[in-house]
Structure 1
Amino acid sequence: MVVLILEKVPIGLKGELSRWMIELKSGVFVGKVTARVRDLLWEKVKKESQGNPGILLWSAQCEQGYKIEFWGCPSRIPTFWEGLQLMTKPLKP
């Protein structure tokens, strides 16, 4: 399973992603695609998102059962702790 969470998605990119995945909520896409299609869609997102943040999650054979990739500057930051990938929300100054 693949989950894409995008902010401020251009209409054309939404249309392209909806050919392969279901849009559950604005900017949240879910689907079951091959690793190759997942990687190609992620490259397209990074190229056409105009620098807007995005998160890609997919099923993987690891302790957590999934992996995460980020693009842009999301509101939460990935933190690696003893082999686990956790999310950290930065403190405001």
Structure 2
Amino acid sequence: MTVIVVAACPTGLRGHFTRWLLEIAPGVFVGKTTTRVRNLMWQRVTEMAKTGRAIMVHTTNNEHGLAFQVHNHDWTPIDYEGINLILRPNNQQADRPERKTGWSNASQRRRRPTPNPKPNDNST
């Protein structure tokens, strides 16, 4: 079983995957391929997805029963005592935009006193 997830990749690459895999969601491809086809698909990913990101997970004969490869991703796979893990960078907090302190705009509008509506004088 092979699963490939692509983001910000050319449509030609996605079309290439549909030859062998099913697209079950936008950018998510699943199927059963041979090792040779899987390696050729990954080679095509590294050639065509220049700035895009891709992750491939496939079955293999190890403790997890799977292996994965990444392309242009912030998270990197590492081998920790024979177990494959994903290392997440610690600087994700710095990438988030700073939040404003204080009340939200909606809360501030609710706290303001509303002016009294003028009576409607429709006496004719």
Count of matched residue positions in the alignment of Structure 1 and Structure 2? 92
Alignment of 1:5 onto 2:5: yes
Partner of 2:61: 61
Partner of 1:75: 74
Q: Could you give the per-residue CA deviations for residues 9-59 of structure 1, whole angstroms, max 9, x where no partner exists?
A: 211111110121011222111110111111111111111112322111110
Partner of 1:89: 88
Alpha-carbon distance between aligned partners in 2 of 1:89 and 1:24, rounded to the nearest angstrom:
26
Deviation for aligned residue 1:75: 3.1
Bigger radius of gyration: 2
Alpha-carbon distance between aligned partners in 1 of 2:88 and 2:25, rounded to the nearest angstrom:
22
Partner of 1:27: 27
| C-alpha RMSD over aligned residues | 1.3
Alpha-carbon distance between aligned partners in 1 of 2:50 and 2:61, rounded to the nearest angstrom:
32
Point out 4+ residue stretches in structure 1 off by more than 2 angstroms: none
Alpha-carbon distance between aligned partners in 1 of 2:26 and 2:87, rounded to the nearest angstrom:
23
> What secondary structure, in the 3-state scheme, does the structure 2 residue paired with 1:90 have?
coil
Provide structure 2 residue ranges, at least 5 long, that are not aligned to the other structure.
95-124
Q: What TM-score do you get using the length of structure 2 for normalisation?
A: 0.68
Code of the residue aligned with 1:88 in structure 2: it is L
